[in-house]
Amino acid sequence: MASNGNADLAARLTLDGFDSFNTAFRAISRRAQQRFETKDWAGGLRDAAERLDSYESTLDRVVIRLEQTLGPLAREQSIWVAAKPRFARLVAQRYDIDRAETFFNSVTRKMLRTIGINREVEFFYLHPKAAAPQRAETVYRTYAKATDTASLVRNILGEFTFGIGYENIKRDAERVAQEIDLHLWPVAGPDKPYVIDIIKVIFYRNKEAYIVGRIVVDTRTIPLIIPLASGDAGVYADAVLLHESEASIAFSFAYSYFFVDMERYDALLEFLRSILPRAELAGLYTSLGYNRHAKTEFYRDLHRFVHVSKEEFVIAPGLEGAVMIVFTLPHFDFVFKVIKDRPCFLRSKHETLKEITQDQVRSQYDFVSHRDRAGRMVDTQEFENLRFKTKRFSGALLVEFAHAANANVSITEDYVIVRHVYVQKKVLPLPIYFKTEKDPEAIRRILRDFGYFLKDLAASGVFPSDLFNTWNYGVTHWGRVVLYDYDDVLPIERITFREKPAPRNESEETRPEEEWICATEQEFFMDEIERYSGIPGPLKGVFKAMHGDLYTLDFWNDLTERLRAGEVFDVTPYDRSKRFHGHDASATTAARARGSTELHTP
């Protein structure tokens, strides 16, 4: 039986760890403005990696402290059963009670090596519980139109100060105002009043900063996002985004997380849901960097869906991969990926030449999680020791688990225990898109975006060595091409791009190429892009007409040289046609000379 003193101590040490994590999280987030102002893009990438790892490193320190203080008792379940109500009382009146409970669960799972859900120890609810009453705190400012829209926007921009100042705040206010006036004309006309609400803090990511707000006309809410860039002559507005689709892409699951120095994230989330009505709560937590609590929200959604729908987990549609067993619930918006014991195919007699271990696969996924995902790589959540009733799995899926996933899946008469699994948002595999889409202009847009997808991946330093396997690529709800399979990715700096050597004699002319051309996995022959591209043959001409530079050695060599030199590319989450041009003639000319504008998202 746990003593009250030991349980109190376990609860207090856990809460101290949570507060320590919050302090570190906000300290790292606060650096973003200085990184932006000084153009320290490499420092920003290091901060992103440090913040991503800070939760796990904090957990490790808490575990060490618990073991030093409580000894073997720290791993006794009775301690944590008694600590749970004590922790609940400590956090009952906190606005961050949801994340605090998630941290408590994380500690107990580490200490007790929990499989499934231990309801005696963990906080778990099928439905979000009501938050404790808190004093009202407004995370946004409200601006009412008094004279003209340009003056209103000028006031908004003026609220955000930068050490390097604005390049031309009057010009930018006029440009943003013109777009707002145009967008509002069908809704508000010349006279209908409206207000603009603007979040009090800046959102930072990659090389841009974002002013985030909304326009409220009657009962209608319109997103308002103003991307800012750090130029040689100061900060300037690069565009204005006024559509739900544009806001959704900016907060997409394929982008790295924002840096936002805001204590009351709960009120911030409430605001974001007003401009992103289709976004899942878990996705919004993730976008703000709270990815570990996002897992709690996702797990709650999953259990609620399984409980209500009674659907079975089934093999996911699409082509079988050699490395993963991919499964899903037919009407759930995510897929689950379990690493096979060894690369193989179960649904065909094909053999695979892949040789990759489970540890190597995990390393690949970890590599991607620590890169700037550039809006082109699906966010992946990692879960361990999940447990579901065996009756919830289809027979065919259970057979695949038994044949090829014994290291990660255990099956009993009553339960399936998944020791390790990746979870990703569902997307439509690119080959299925090409097969099913009937609108030629929609196909043209995807072909165009596919080229920019390859360029954005390259700009982020990622090269899919299985480049021609378009089953690794998918199309999102908003028509964006993304990568979702990471076991074949490599740092592009390690790739050598070459022209394929010509035969040197008659013998080589008559023999298969693989008999006389030697290449490592880090060498890539340029002529293979055209020969083996997974784009359907009749569509290759359209693609090449839009992205002919991808077929040239100069493009790839120039890009890799710049990456090796430490350059960080701009990858913006909005259409290039939305960008304001001519912010500064000399700066724009220099950027074009560097070629960076050719790597922006379309």
User: Same domain, yes or no, for 318 and 220?
Assistant: no
Residue 265 inside a domain? The answer is yes
Question: Do the Cβ atoms of 51 and 29 come closer than 8 Å?
Answer: yes
User: Same domain, yes or no, for 407 and 515?
Assistant: no
For 450-460, what is the mean pLDDT? 91
- Domain limit, last residue, from 426, 456, 484: 426
- Domain limit, last residue, from 426, 457, 478: 426
Residue predicted with more confidence, 418 or 514: 418
Q: Is the pLDDT score of 535 beyond 60?
A: yes
Question: Do the Cβ atoms of 421 and 445 come closer than 8 Å?
Answer: no
For 434-460, what is the mean pLDDT? 93
Cα distance between residue 68 and residue 82, in whole Å:
19
pLDDT bucket at 596, cuts 50 / 70 / 90 = very low
pLDDT bucket at 128, cuts 50 / 70 / 90 = low
Residue 292 inside a domain? The answer is no
Cα distance between residue 104 and residue 112, in whole Å:
12
For 549-575, what is the mean pLDDT? 88
Q: Is the pLDDT score of 520 beyond 50?
A: yes
For 197-205, what is the mean pLDDT? 96
User: Same domain, yes or no, for 219 and 252?
Assistant: yes
Residue 294 inside a domain? The answer is no
Cα distance between residue 564 and residue 512, in whole Å:
35
pTM for the structure as a whole: 0.87
User: Same domain, yes or no, for 256 and 354?
Assistant: no
Residue 177 inside a domain? The answer is yes
Would you name the residues annotated as active-site residues? Answer: 379
User: Same domain, yes or no, for 391 and 443?
Assistant: no
Residue 255 token pair: 């982008």
Q: What are phi and psi of 226, to 5 degrees?
A: -115, 105
Residue 22 inside a domain? The answer is yes
Residue 189 inside a domain? The answer is yes
Q: Which of 259-268, 317-326, 349-358 has the lowest mean pLDDT?
A: 349-358
Residue 590 inside a domain? The answer is no
For 21-48, what is the mean pLDDT? 95
Q: Give the residue numbers spanning the domain of 391.
A: 311-426
Name the DSSP letter for residue 579. Answer: S
pLDDT bucket at 464, cuts 50 / 70 / 90 = confident
User: Same domain, yes or no, for 434 and 416?
Assistant: no
Cα distance between residue 561 and residue 496, in whole Å:
11
User: Same domain, yes or no, for 50 and 89?
Assistant: yes
Residue predicted with more confidence, 374 or 228: 228
Q: Which of 225-229, 492-496, 505-509 has the lowest mean pLDDT?
A: 505-509
How much of the chain, in percent, has pLDDT values that exceed 90?
Answer: 68
User: Same domain, yes or no, for 410 and 489?
Assistant: no
User: Same domain, yes or no, for 452 and 559?
Assistant: yes
pLDDT digits (tens, 9 = 90+) for 104-124: 999 999 999 988 888 999 998
User: Same domain, yes or no, for 322 and 251?
Assistant: no
376-387 burial: b if 16+ Cβ within 10 Å, else e = bbbbbbebeebe
Nearest one of 336, 331, 586 to 484, comparing CA atoms:
336
Cα distance between residue 212 and residue 273, in whole Å:
12
Residue predicted with more confidence, 521 or 80: 80
Question: Do the Cβ atoms of 588 and 224 come closer than 8 Å?
Answer: no
Cα distance between residue 386 and residue 299, in whole Å:
10
pLDDT bucket at 245, cuts 50 / 70 / 90 = very high
pLDDT at 478: 87
The amino acid at residue 580 is F
| Mean pLDDT estimate for the chain | 89
pLDDT bucket at 598, cuts 50 / 70 / 90 = very low
Question: Do the Cβ atoms of 365 and 486 come closer than 8 Å?
Answer: yes
- Domain total for the chain? 4
pLDDT at 585: 38
For 502-512, what is the mean pLDDT? 74
Residue 131 inside a domain? The answer is no
pLDDT digits (tens, 9 = 90+) for 138-155: 899 999 977 899 999 999
pLDDT at 466: 78
- Domain limit, last residue, from 426, 460, 479: 426
DSSP E strand stretches across 310-350: 314-315, 324-328, 334-339
Run of H or E residues at 385: strand 380-389
User: Same domain, yes or no, for 11 and 144?
Assistant: no
Question: Do the Cβ atoms of 474 and 428 come closer than 8 Å?
Answer: yes
User: Same domain, yes or no, for 465 and 529?
Assistant: yes
Strand partners, 386: 418
How much of the chain, in percent, has pLDDT values that exceed 70?
Answer: 93
pLDDT at 2: 61
Question: Do the Cβ atoms of 574 and 242 come closer than 8 Å?
Answer: no
Name the DSSP letter for residue 392. Answer: G
Q: Is the pLDDT score of 133 beyond 70?
A: no
Q: Is the pLDDT score of 595 beyond 50?
A: no
pLDDT at 587: 38
pLDDT at 316: 95
